[in-house]
Chain A
Amino acid sequence: MTYPTSPRSALSRRSFLGVSALGVLGLAGCRSAVDQAAQTGGASATPKPGGTLVTTVAAEPFPNAYFTGRPGNIFWNRNVLETLVLIDEKAKVHGLLATKWEFRDGNKTVVFQLREGVKFHSGRDFTAQDVVFTIERAVAGDGLSNLVGATKGWQATASGQHEVTITSPRPLQEVAFDILDGFPIIDQESYQGLQDGSKVIGTGPFVWSSYRPGTEITLKRNDSYWEKGLPYLDGIDVTVIKDSTAQLAALRTGRAQLANGLTIQDAKTVVDDKKFHLDENHGLVYGIGFDVNQGPFTNPDLRRAIGYAIDRERIKSQVFGDIGTITSLPWSDNAVGYPKDLGKTYTFDQDKARQLIQKAGANGVSFEIALHALPVPRAIYQILARNLADVGLAPSPLELSSADFEPRRAAGKLAPAFLTWTAVAAQPPALMVDALAELRPDVNTSRFVDATYQKQVADLIAASDDKATAVALKDVSQTLLDEAFFHTYAIVPTTTVRADADRDNLIGRYGRSMRAAYLAG
């Protein structure tokens, strides 16, 4: 049977035009969200007041981790809380809440003169007691401080209303500023509010205004900031965007002006040094470690062989976009007493690697390498696996989530080999031997326990001047290279992508773009 077709069975032309006209009128009358987001535009070479800086991070902020450097905290921590001192990108120390300092008693005491006229956001005056309180909390491990070992035995006393004396059983000249740069001064009346972000009071240029846990932080200008005329910005928004594509979209559309957490490959898809710039910050030490108590890495020859088998240049080029430094030592080359002759000990030499593997009787040996289930460690593993296969070894990956990797790392129960990356780059060696789990003398990820190494580390920590530091550092470095329980292969900066479209000087205080206050607009 055929079915009748009615002249009214199709949408009539009149109806179609009517609906279309309504649509056009509707659109014409609407405000555009795209235009609204783009209204922050306009390049400026000099700071100008006003505006809200929108930043994105790829990890959630954790206000309760105020004494440690969590990626999600980098854009709010130093804008709300302030430290006594701040170390700039050139490793120069600047006074912030401290104006002067003096080392005494063989460098085991440091006396700080504090800035006067500083107030907490609650209106209370900042005094020496606040510094004493902060140090006590940090030493006790509050704020998830990972420098409890380094600050063991520290005592802080208020030797005046604006003078603080810090004493330590160990010399402080190498480590004090780096440690204090990581301890923002907290308000003793409200610090419990830091646990859940319900109340965050500091002395910084911005006030904690609102907080949606895991999502967003809004900071507003502190009109009573101690440095008159600052900050220029009205506010800072910190938004969590975990996905790289979404972060790039936020940058491209002008929604955000600063983005942290992109891999270097993703960042380079937008960075063109015109509209978008790449800022480098103190970064990460990448290395491969070995469990020296389980086969096959009980043999130091095999461990050394791997040092020669790694193609560090290829890792730097293909994984890190040619950014960073390839090295055999975890310390920065500007560290006091840095042993320049040892920095390039392990070069890419496959013949040497094969000889050492032959000597260790480890031809064809198979083993697992534990790594974080993340893009960068995976990419590094692929290169490493190829390098090791080329010299006659048979590695296989053991990918672990961060929640699984970290407790195993702390307990020394990772695989026979493991890849790590830790944000300790540019720390002084005397601090890094405590902060970096792989280098700790008593309990480390490699389970390497050696009386000589322990003594050398103790000498490094106890070194009271530059000469003693240089001697101790050389000894520690030599042992590290000889025993080869942890090979550093790269020190790579963390990066922030900065938009140029809005203002040209979105750089924080003293050139740092992370953990720095965004004062300039």
Chain B
Amino acid sequence: MTRFLLRRLPSVLFVLAATTVIAFLLPRLAPGDPAAVAAGPDATTAQIAAVRAQMGLDRPLIAQYFDWIGGLFTGDLGQSLQLKRPVAELIGDRFESTLELTIAATLLLTLFGIGLGVFAGSARRRLSRFLADATNTLQLSMPPFLAGLLLVILLGVAFPVLPISGEVAVADDPVIGLQYLILPAVALAVPMSGGVAMLVRSSMDNAWRQDYVDLAVSKGVSRRRITMRHVLRNSLGPAVVALGMRFGDMLAGAVVIEMIFARNGIGQLAVSSVQNADYNVVQVIIVGAVLIAVLVQLGTEIALAALDPRVRLGA
């Protein structure tokens, strides 16, 4: 595996380097002036120019870029143009919220996705298959924002059993914190688990037709043992790839869920930074998102190799 990672290193570095250039230029190409946002409405051009000079945005772009890159190498992610705080502090402040939501949603996504897929792939009775199909269709047709709003209305307003606004860190108070986390995590994960479930079911249907399963059946092995030991393990490969791909969708979906449930995660920071033309924050978040995507991709390949010995890393 070390050789695999070392072989991947140059391409990863190249992707990150290209990303820094795109992340730097993209916000600046969009219309909008962070100095005007900071100076406020009714500011004069002279006031806006003064604010722009304070922000250092009147310097040449090349100088701004290399200053920023130099800071990245030393761990200085820059300062927010609008909030006047280190970008690292702003992200760090929200990291816990996003991490909690992502971990909880990933666990639920795995549980529901694989669980429903196994159920659908193992079901023999017509009613069971119908229920599996119906649940899957419902999941696929419901985007996270709709699931979130329905949960807010149902379990927050009509029958208030769980909180629908705000957050408490799980580390600070696990009992209360988990209650704040349940609905956002369910809203984020359950709709996305439909695709994973479909993949697992389809792979299982295919695996059930293989010769090794026929052999196991003819030897009198129980259905449960065949499912767990042979069919499921050989079906999880596509699910792992799908989970990896869904991770990126989840980060995007988290922005909407954070908004609906009034959670202050990195998604909300990204949205408000784009709206306020806070270049320094947007740049770091873009690079961070790409880095996470690259790491998830590497992790997916490693997991796939671990599940299926026929898959060789880097082949």
The chain A residues found within 8 Å of chain B, CB to CB, are: 1, 3-6, 8-9, 30-34, 36-37, 60, 62, 64-65, 68, 70, 141, 144, 146, 148, 195-197, 212-216, 239-243, 245-247, 249-250, 252-253, 255-256, 400-404, 406-407, 409-411, 422-424, 435-437, 443
Contacts and interface: CB of A to CB of B under 8 A. Distances in A.
Contact of B156 (A249, A403, A407, A435): A249
B42 interface: yes
Nearest first, the 6 A-B pairs at minimum CB distance are A403-B32, A407-B36, A196-B84, A33-B179, A404-B31, A403-B277
Nearest to B83: A213
A332 to B, nearest CB: 18
Interface stretch (B59-67, B185-193, B242-250, B256-264): B256-264
Contacts of A241: 165, 262
A212 B157 CA distance: 28
A422 B32 contact: no
Interface string B32-76: 111111111111110110100000000000000000000000000
B222 interface: yes
5 contacts: A4-B223, A148-B47, A245-B152, A246-B261, A423-B41
Interface string B270-283: 01100111000000
Nearest to A38: B160
Contacts of B268: 242
Contacts of B82: 60, 62
B161 to A, nearest CB: 6
Given A60-B83, A242-B268, A253-B156, A30 B36 contact: no
A249 to B, nearest CB: 5
Nearest to B181: A33
Contacts of B47: 141, 144, 148, 410
A215 B93 contact: yes
Interface of B: 31-45, 47-48, 50, 80, 82-85, 89-90, 93-94, 122, 124, 149, 152, 156-157, 160-166, 168, 175-176, 179-180, 208, 214, 217, 222-224, 259-262, 264, 268-269, 271-272, 275-277
Contacts of B43: 144, 146, 406, 410
A404 B31 CA distance: 6
A239 B269 contact: no
A247 B164 CA distance: 11
A146 B176 CA distance: 44
B33 A407 contact: yes
Contacts of B217: 1, 3-4
Given A8-B222, A144-B38, A146-B42, 7 more contacts: A3-B223, A146-B40, A196-B85, A249-B164, A402-B275, A407-B33, A410-B36
A6 B124 CA distance: 12
Contacts of A253: 156-157, 160, 163-165
Contacts of B35: 407
Contacts of A32: 161, 179
A68 B40 contact: yes
A34 B37 contact: no
A462 B171 CA distance: 62
B262 A249 contact: yes
A216 B268 CA distance: 13
A144 B47 CA distance: 8
Contact of A216 (B39, B157, B264): B264
A213 B165 contact: no
Contacts of B36: 403, 406-407, 410
Nearest to A421: B41
B42 A8 contact: no
B124 A3 contact: yes
Given A9-B122, A195-B84, A214-B83, A406 B37 contact: yes
Q: Select the residue from A215, A243, A400, A403 with max chain B CB neighbours within 10 A.
A: A403
Contacts of B93: 212-213, 215
Nearest to B51: A144
Contacts of A64: 84
Nearest to B85: A213
A400 B31 contact: yes
